[in-house]
Structure 1
Amino acid sequence: MHGGYIVFFQQLLDSWVFSWIILPILIFMCRIFDVSIGTIRIIFVSRGKKKLAPLLGFFEVSIWLIAISQIMQHLDNIACFFAYAGGYAMGNFIGIFIEDKLAMGTLIIRIFLISDENEMKARLYKAGFGVTSIDAHGMNGAVKIVYTVIKRKDLSKAVSIIEECDPKAFYSIEDAKSVNQGIFPKTGKSGFMEYIKPGK
Structure 2
Amino acid sequence: MAVALDIVHDTQETYRKVLTSMSRPGTISTVIGDMDNPFPCHYATFLTILTLLDREVYFHVISDGENLSKVITDYTLAQETSIENADFIIVPNGTNEEAVIDAMQKCKVGTLEDPQNSSTWIIEQNMISVTGTITLTGPGIKHTTSLHLDITAELLEMRNRRVQEFPLGIDLIFTDPVSLACIPRTTKVSLDGGVI
TM-score computed with the length of structure 2 as normaliser: 0.21
Q: Per chain length, whose mean CA-contact separation is higher, i.e. which structure has more relative contact order (CA < 8 Å, sep 6+)? A: 2
Query: Which protein shows a greater Rg?
Result: 1
Q: TM (normalized to structure 1)?
A: 0.20
